[in-house]
Chain A
Amino acid sequence: MDLAGESTARREAWRRRVLSLAAAVAVAFVGLLGQLWYLQVLEGGKLQELSEKNRIRIRPVAAPRGILFDRNGLALVDNRPAFTLSLIPREMDDRDTVLARLSVLLKIPMRELEEALERVPPESFRPVRVRRGLTLEEVTKVEERKLELPGVVVEVEPQRVYPTSTFAAHLLGYVREVSDEQMKQGRYRRGDMIGQSGLERMLDEYLRGRDGGERIEVDALGRPVQVMRREEPDPGAQVITTVDRRIQEAAERAMAGRAGAVVVMDPRNGDVLALTSSPAFALDRLTGNLEKEDWLKVVRDPLTPLMNRALQSQYAPGSVFKVIVAAAGLQEGSLTPMDRTYCNGEFHLGRWTFKDWKEGGHGHVDTRAALVQSCNIFFYQSGLKVGPAAIARYALDFGLGAPTGVDLGGERPGLVPFLDGRRRGDGRGWQAGDTVNMSIGQGQLLVTPMQVARMMAAVANGGVLWRPRLVQRVERVDGTFAYSSSSKMTGRVDLSPVVWAFLRQALSGVVNEGGTGAAARIPGVDVAGKTGTAQTVAKSSSAKGQDHAWFASFAPAHDAEVVVVVLVERGGKGGQVAAPIARQVYQAIFLEKVAMVSLGGDG
């Protein structure tokens, strides 16, 4: 470029523009110097004095955590004020003495106090919480010796309180201080209480709210002189769940002392009315002060109370699966209601012998009777007729082998073998014996109680697969919705209406016509269901190898309002163990109807 050619006028214009920019910068610098003059010379003396005895204390004001309600507006969990013991590292001049005194006074191990302080810089001005839920007595002790305990403060914070220690534990989940691991995500502050499992965790962002804080000036003794500024906390949003507290309580009562799960669902929209896993963990203990040993005890418990068996455990469905074999056969035409067989208790395939659960067999059975009495021999034969491909396809159609998408984390997908139409779950070739096993829900089939509930809901409502819904909406304090969800259909099973009617009628027979589910019979309510007894392999001597008991049901049989699925781990026979539990749940649900019948009403 020919630089000499640049005109003087252009150079002058450039010069002028650059100089005006420089002038703007100069003005800004003068303003800056003015502010420095103001701070350091005019205000200097005052600020100097402030710095001498500068004891501005920051007091966090914790936001109350949002409350979870059931579908009728009853609280599932609530808050109450609790005392928290905190240390302000910066104000602890003689740290070891103060910690030693505190340790003796409240019988807190010295190690615990030191550990809490090690995680923050030694001159931090923010209170470090060391213990929550102090008793009134402990608070008094600390307040009385306040002068000897510089840097020790007691704050009042809202804390979770639960109706009972284990109520809906897996559903709600527990709340604990953010862990070192979670701190790395960068979205929490040390000492934040966050949901660690269940809905508390899934909805933590809504429930947590935003902490406020107070900046207070204190004198040398730590007494507040004035509140310089206060920022009110934003309370967390409220969650309206689909759960019915009454049904949830009934389900938990019915499961007391057993290991297993109960899922109650509305087949008309997929709302989860109750979800319990047993044994449950103690919410209040996990949320409060927990010693390491106690925590390890919970984690190492062979009964795994932290696991949500309704979605995180997979079981063979046992005879519950016969519903799918029957549906596949009837719809595909390989099975008709008129098919009959003679069951003598044994079935031979090559050199293998498969037995019925009933010694001596059921005698003559047709399709309906085979379902009602859960005849294995009939289904061994039917399974071979229907074929593994059709059975697997219908199983997938009914939502098995895939997570249901319920609003809780950690859901397992289950397993429908016969992969790519020829392999078993373990990759080995498919044998006719595998088909026989699958026909009665054994072999490599795996399902979760939640999947079975969705499947039964589809039988009850004529084929609609719902995404199980746990949360109706999340409401902010000002009444606006932070989140709301409507029922979502995730699939549809197309069977002829005749087949649906047949299935429902047969399942009603299971309970009401002396079938295997007779123990679930309730006068006044037409319960329909299918029992299942899933054989377990005794892998170790400690697990006795008793069978898992299933009862998957809905009621009323022809206009279902509710699905109840019960699984009892190593409970024995489904009809003897699981069905009576379902009965208790139905009694709670249909309280009025049951009462009317027993009073001689017309039901």
Chain B
Amino acid sequence: MLRVDRRLLKNVDWPLLGAAFAIVLLGLVCLSSLGLGRGGSGLAWRQLMWVGVGAMALLAVVTFDYRSLVRAAPALYLLGVGLLVTVFVLGRTVSGARRWIHLGPLTFQPSELFKVIFILTLAWALTWRRAPQQTSRGTLGWIIALIAVPFALVVRQPDLGTALVLLPVLGAVLLGVGVRLRILGALAAAGVALMPLAWLALKPYQRDRLFVYLDPFRDPLGAAYNVIQAKIAIGSGQLLGKGISGATQSRLAFLPERHTDFIFAVFAETWGFVGCLVLILAYGVLIVRGFEIAVGTREARGRIIALGVTALFAAQTLINLGMVTGLLPVVGIPLPLMSYGGSSMVVSFMALGLLLSVRMRQFQ
């Protein structure tokens, strides 16, 4: 199984991989700076371990032909839904949300894994009747049904962040395969119309939490404070940043999530606008390469995977950065490849693996 074709190796997308590892490296530096003055940088080491696990996951995904993964999509889908259900049975509740499963000393977040499964499922569902160009209304309805179940489970956790990321991925893929904007608009309207139903299913304190998501100022002690402090941290970095030792604003005090969802604030304070340009450039390279792979692929399943993965990275990056810089309300979405967290890191690498796999087999 591990016999990798020589020709495949020639087609490894080095810019893509380079950009990804550059981002990972910047993230590790950021995490270790958070450890300064707090006795060690355990976070960075643990993150490095996850990077290792992620790299192995990437290799594992690459060795498979993505087409066989798409063929396995129904099974993976059932596995993913099963895991999401398991969260409700065995899951651990952290600050009101059940998102994690315990595996010995590790915790694992099935909703993260589902992002990849989601893309594979889309590729499978859109091509299993052979002609993706002819996406009839029936196919569309059946895809929506397929996705509604896990989506509802994720929302119920509640993991609004993951749910919010899956939507643009779905939208991008459907647009890509040629579903008309008009139909997508109608679907979106229907989704909005169904929201009150979901609302009824939530407990009062969960509703409160959602309110805070939508309007951070409802919780003046929590999310809004984070946003203000994040803004101050980012802004005080100015053009060139304060350097690792000078970035007191983020290292001291504020956010409980500074190593996870708000890590960009730490980075921006440390390296300033110039540093941010470099980081965003790296994300840009990654995303542009992703789109190029999508354009250059002729095989239907590969196209959908490439577009889906690219949309996933773009959506996560944009929503996270938008939230940290105060452009968007606060939702729990990690910055891919940079935020601290095992599940997110490994899953990001798996997604990259899919992209690389499509690229390497583009001309077969």
Q: Which A residues fall within an 8 A CB radius of B?
A: 1, 3, 6, 10-11, 13-15, 17-19, 21-22, 25, 28-29, 31-33, 35-37, 39-41, 43-48, 50-51, 54, 56, 58, 60, 90, 121, 123, 125-126, 184-187, 189, 205, 210-215, 229-231
Q: A33-B277, A40-B268, A47-B232 are known contacts. Are A213 and B221 too (CB-CB below 8 A)? A: yes
Bound Cα distance A135, B135 (Å): 74
Partner of A29, one of B97, B178, B318: B318
Contact, CB under 8 Å: A213 / B220? yes
Cβ contacts under 8 Å, B327 to chain A: 31-32, 35
Cβ contacts under 8 Å, A32 to chain B: 280, 318, 321-322, 325, 327
Cβ contacts under 8 Å, A189 to chain B: 221
Q: A18-B294, A21-B172 are known contacts. Are A29 and B284 too (CB-CB below 8 A)? A: yes
Contact, CB under 8 Å: B273 / A37? yes
Produce 1/0 per residue, B132-154, CB < 8 A to A: 01000000000000000000000
Contact, CB under 8 Å: A185 / B220? no
Number of A-B contacts (CB under 8 A): 155
Cβ contacts under 8 Å, B178 to chain A: 13-14, 17
Contact, CB under 8 Å: B291 / A22? yes
Contact, CB under 8 Å: A1 / B236? no
Cβ contacts under 8 Å, B284 to chain A: 29
Bound Cα distance A131, B254 (Å): 24
Q: Given A17-B175, A25-B314, A29-B318, 16 other A-B contacts at CB below 8 A?
A: A1-B299, A3-B298, A18-B294, A18-B307, A39-B235, A40-B268, A40-B273, A44-B239, A47-B231, A50-B236, A51-B235, A56-B228, A58-B220, A186-B97, A212-B220, A215-B224
Within B287-308, the residues touching A (CB, 8 Å) are 287-288, 291, 294-295, 298-300, 303, 307
Q: A211 to chain B: closest CB distance in Å? A: 8
Contact, CB under 8 Å: A41 / B232? no
Contact, CB under 8 Å: B325 / A39? yes
Interface flag for B253 (CB, 8 Å): yes
Q: A6 to chain B: closest CB distance in Å? A: 6
Bound Cα distance A278, B252 (Å): 53
Q: A40-B268, A58-B221 are known contacts. Are A45 and B238 too (CB-CB below 8 A)? A: yes
Contact, CB under 8 Å: A123 / B321? no
Cβ contacts under 8 Å, B276 to chain A: 33, 36, 40
Beta-carbon nearest neighbor of A187 in chain B: B205
Q: A360 to chain B: closest CB distance in Å? A: 66
Cβ contacts under 8 Å, B291 to chain A: 18-19, 21-22, 25
Partner of A10, one of B133, B175, B252, B294: B133
Within B222-238, the residues touching A (CB, 8 Å) are 224-225, 228-229, 231-238
Bound Cα distance A495, B232 (Å): 78
Partner of B96, one of A11, A187, A210: A187
Most buried by B among A36, A56, A184: A36
Bound Cα distance A121, B38 (Å): 12
Cβ contacts under 8 Å, A215 to chain B: 220, 224-225, 228
Contact, CB under 8 Å: B95 / A186? yes
Q: A212 to chain B: closest CB distance in Å? A: 7
Cβ contacts under 8 Å, A205 to chain B: 204-205
- 21 CB contacts below 8 A, A to B, read A1-B300, A3-B299, A14-B176, A14-B295, A19-B291, A32-B322, A37-B273, A40-B238, A41-B273, A43-B235, A45-B238, A50-B236, A51-B236, A56-B229, A58-B220, A125-B253, A186-B97, A213-B221, A214-B220, A215-B224, A230-B220
Bound Cα distance A51, B234 (Å): 10
Q: A25-B287, A50-B232 are known contacts. Are A186 and B93 too (CB-CB below 8 A)? A: yes
Beta-carbon nearest neighbor of B235 in chain A: A47
Cβ contacts under 8 Å, B46 to chain A: none
Contact, CB under 8 Å: A11 / B298? yes
Bound Cα distance A203, B225 (Å): 30
Interface flag for B182 (CB, 8 Å): no
Interface flag for B106 (CB, 8 Å): no
Beta-carbon nearest neighbor of B172 in chain A: A21
Bound Cα distance A41, B204 (Å): 42
| 8 smallest beta-carbon distances between A and B, as pairs | A47-B235, A51-B236, A44-B238, A213-B220, A186-B96, A40-B273, A39-B235, A48-B236
Bound Cα distance A10, B176 (Å): 12
Contact, CB under 8 Å: B253 / A14? no
Cβ contacts under 8 Å, A28 to chain B: 314, 318, 322
Produce 1/0 per residue, B197-222, CB < 8 A to A: 00000001100100000000110110
Cβ contacts under 8 Å, A56 to chain B: 225, 228-229
Bound Cα distance A248, B303 (Å): 76
Q: B291 to chain A: closest CB distance in Å? A: 4
Cβ contacts under 8 Å, A184 to chain B: 93
Bound Cα distance A21, B277 (Å): 22
Contact, CB under 8 Å: A231 / B218? yes
Interface flag for B249 (CB, 8 Å): yes
Cβ contacts under 8 Å, B239 to chain A: 40-41, 44
Q: A138 to chain B: closest CB distance in Å? A: 26
Cβ contacts under 8 Å, B288 to chain A: 22
Cβ contacts under 8 Å, B254 to chain A: 123, 125
Bound Cα distance A134, B317 (Å): 50
Bound Cα distance A17, B135 (Å): 15
Produce 1/0 per residue, B325-340, CB < 8 A to A: 1110000000000000
Beta-carbon nearest neighbor of B209 in chain A: A187
Bound Cα distance A44, B273 (Å): 10
Partner of B217, one of A123, A126, A229: A229
Interface flag for B94 (CB, 8 Å): yes
Contact, CB under 8 Å: A123 / B253? yes
Partner of A36, one of B224, B234, B253: B234
